[in-house]
A and B are shown apart, each in its own frame.
Chain A
Amino acid sequence: MTLTDRKWYKSKPIIHESFIQWFLIACAAVSIFITFGIVFILGKESLLFFSEVSIVEFLTSTKWQPMIEEFGVLPLLNSTLITSFIAMLVAAPIGLCVAIYLSEYASDRVRRILKPILEILAGIPTVVYGYFALTFMTPLLRIIFGQNTVDIYNTASAGLVMGILILPLVTSITEDALKAVPYSLREAAYGLGATKLETSISVVVPAAFSGIAAAFILGLSRAVGETMIVALAAGAGPNFTFNPFEAAETLTGYIVRISGGDISYNTVDYNSIFALGLLLFFMTLILNIISRSLVRRFQEVYD
């Protein structure tokens, strides 16, 4: 845009323009203030918690039961990581395959049908997924592995269903990353005699690697914060176990159970949920920062 262009642009009436500009700035500011407000409250209430509980005990002890002064976050953190890991076991490979298909193989017609169907998955309320886990996935696991091996509430079922939940997210970001790979790279591969599969797997996917990684990490951060599915299907008691067929409460599950019971204010239970909230906040924040920096890197390469 040249200088003269700008003059022409500026000569238009600007009163309502500046009003709109200020309005938009205010909207942006509100969301920033809300974020700071949340961080402030989380921090303030967590300070109360950490004034009573040492951070070393919080991060190293393997028992969580605030009513009897057991404040080890590991059981909750562990089951959050297990459910998220299982979710990624589902969402990462399937998401990648679907994205490769949609971006490299599918005809326009197929894509037009398949993409909206995938997006419907993202639109299903998570409470529905929760009941799906409890009334379909858990019985299925129990048929396969036996009633006595698989508990009625278990992290495997919650994780698998959570994988379905984050599948559309992973797929659509991965597909965008694959699409962003310049066509010249594919043409070069074809020119060297590569088949379509070889091109997709050895040229397009590696070229889009950082974007794909960003998609996975965003999916992971969504899984870490997911609440309803784990609250319904993963169990309601902290349990430090690596067995995905046992019941084990996650960070979000504990928060929702304790706050759902209208707990007494100013008790250590009440403050504990803010400390857990802060921990969750940092986990997703770090994951999001990583994924953003990855996305930026992959944009820089080909722009």
Chain B
Amino acid sequence: MKRIFFLVIAASILTGTVFAGGQQEAKGTDMADDGKFVWIIESEDGILPGVNPLKVEGDIITAGSSTVFPLSEAMAERFKDEGYNFNITVDSIGSGAGFERFTVAGETDISNASRPIKDKEITAAKEIGRDPVEFRVGTDALAVTVPKSNTFVKDVTLEELAMIFTSEKWSDVRAAWPNENILKFIPGTDSGTFDYFVEEVYDKNSAAILGASNLQMSEDDNILVQGISESPYGIGFFGYAYYVENKNVLNVLNIDGVEPNKENVDAAAYPLARPLFIYSDASIMKNKPQVAAFIAYYLTYVNEEITRVGYFPANEDVINGGKDAWLKACEGMY
């Protein structure tokens, strides 16, 4: 009986927002009475409404960055453990490919990204009636790693880093390094990590690194980990979580003398620290209460999970900015 009641409410929310024109922020006053999310419980953080996962219904589709993947998966896992009983898919396909599915095909509800959305992607989204809303979920320190057996490189400057990924031999970068081929294992061009690296290290010019010799590219970070750890003269980069998971076989390099760790990321001293995001859209969140619920849940608890996954918590203000965006997107529904 109760279930039917929820279904009726869900249906009325759906029709309500469709008639209200989707994007417009629930101007129909009747929604305030019976159009609220059914999963709301007492707020955990005093900002967002609390989420009761037991009452959340319907599937959620997310896709995008392989860097954000472990985090989103951890949140999805916790969401399920606390009672969410439907399917949530988290596809690890790269930020660019994730946005493609979110903004062109419109197949996904949430897009995971390790870089901010690009203007042309926003334009594409608007063409299919989506207006991306950004939620910052944490910070990654892009980890440049070498195999454990590598003893000659511990610390590089940004200039040397740029040279390493375009040079043929280690000795071309520093004369003291061995006269051996540099085997490079890097994320594919669809990945936000690749975009970010090219932007920071090569000033957005990807031609040099793509033209390099002995280059292996994969959207699967585990292939990169295996390649680096098994190649005595290998080097590569990916999200910090994949380094944490493979600490026993990899060494992480200091960049400009700064080690990637919590203190240096918090102090903004590590040069390759970058924000991690999830994106959704106000009309999706209103039409699919389960998406709004998951994002609220995500933003409420992400800082309890993020360290375990291997990333760094974003500071309170930034997370709260995301929460404000959520409140604005779901106005009238809570």
Interface string of A59-73 (1 = CB under 8 A from B): 000010101101000
Query: In the complex, A152 Cα to B231 Cα: how many Å?
Result: 6
Q: Report whether A68 and B207 are in contact in the complex, using a CB–CB cutoff of 8 Å.
A: yes
Judge whether A247 and B94 touch: CB under 8 Å.
no
A191 at the interface (CB under 8 A from B): no
CA distance A264 to B210 in the complex (A): 18
B138 within 8 A of A: no
Q: Which residue of B lies closest to A247 (CB)?
A: B216
- Please name the residue on chain A nearest to B63 by beta carbon: A262
> Secondary structure at chain A's binding surface: helix, strand, loop or mixed?
loop
B246 within 8 A of A: no
Given contacts A67-B206, A261-B97, A262-B190, contact A148 B216 (CB under 8 A): no
Contacting residue for A236 out of B101, B180, B210, B217, CB 8 A: B217
A43 in the interface, Cβ–Cβ < 8 Å?
Answer: no
Chain B residue with Cβ nearest A237: B216
- Report which of A67, A70, A263 forms a contact with B97, defined as CB distance below 8 A: A263
Q: Is the CB of B232 within 8 A of A264?
A: no
Q: Point out which of A134, A151, A261 has the most chain B C-beta atoms below 10 A from its C-beta.
A: A261
Q: How far is the CB of A156 from chain B (nearest CB, A)?
A: 15
Q: Which residues of B contact A68 (CB under 8 A)?
A: 206-207, 210-211
| Residue B255 at the chain A interface, CB threshold 8 Å | no
The answer on a CB contact under 8 Å between A261 and B232 is no
Q: In the complex the two chains form, what is the Cα distance from A264 to B230 in whole Å?
A: 32
B239 at the interface (CB under 8 A from A): no
Q: With CB as the reference atom, state the residue of chain A lying closest to B219.
A: A261
B interface residues, how many (CB within 8 angstroms): 32
CB A92 to nearest CB in B, in angstroms, measures 30
- Chain B residues within an 8 Å CB radius of A65: 210-211
Give residues of chain A (228-276) contacting chain B, Cβ–Cβ below 8 Å. Answer: 235-237, 239, 246-247, 257, 260-265
What is the 8 Å Cβ interface bit string for chain A, positions 257-301, against chain B (1 contact, 0 not)? 100111111000000000000000000000000000000000000
Q: Given A68-B211, A147-B232, A260-B219, does the pair A152, B227 have CB atoms closer than 8 Å?
A: yes
Q: Are B218 and A67 in contact (CB under 8 A)?
A: no
A-chain residues with CB within 8 Å of residue B63 when the two chains form the complex: 262
A196: min CB distance to chain B, Å:
48
A244 CB to closest chain B CB (Å) equals: 15
- Which among A235, A236, A247, A264 has the greatest number of chain B C-beta atoms within 10 A? A236
| Interface mask (A64-90 → B, CB under 8 Å = 1, otherwise 0) | 010110100000000000000000000
A262 contact from B100, B207, B226, B234, Cβ within 8 A: B100
| B100 smallest CB distance to A (angstroms) | 5
User: Are A151 and B190 in contact, with the CB atoms below 8 A?
Assistant: no
Tell whether B189 is near chain A: CB-to-CB under 8 Å.
yes
A126-163 interface code vs B (CB 8 A; 1 in, 0 out): 00000000100000000000011001110000000000
Residue from A147, A151, A239 having most chain B Cβ neighbours under 10 A: A151
Contact with A along B230-255 (1 / 0, CB 8 A): 11111000000000000000000000
Q: Which 6 pairs from chain A and chain B are nearest by CB?
A: A152-B230, A262-B97, A237-B216, A261-B190, A261-B219, A236-B216
Between A and B, 20 residue pairs with Cβ closer than 8 Å are A65-B211, A68-B211, A70-B211, A148-B180, A151-B183, A153-B216, A153-B227, A237-B215, A237-B217, A239-B213, A247-B216, A257-B188, A257-B217, A260-B219, A262-B63, A262-B97, A262-B190, A264-B97, A264-B100, A265-B104
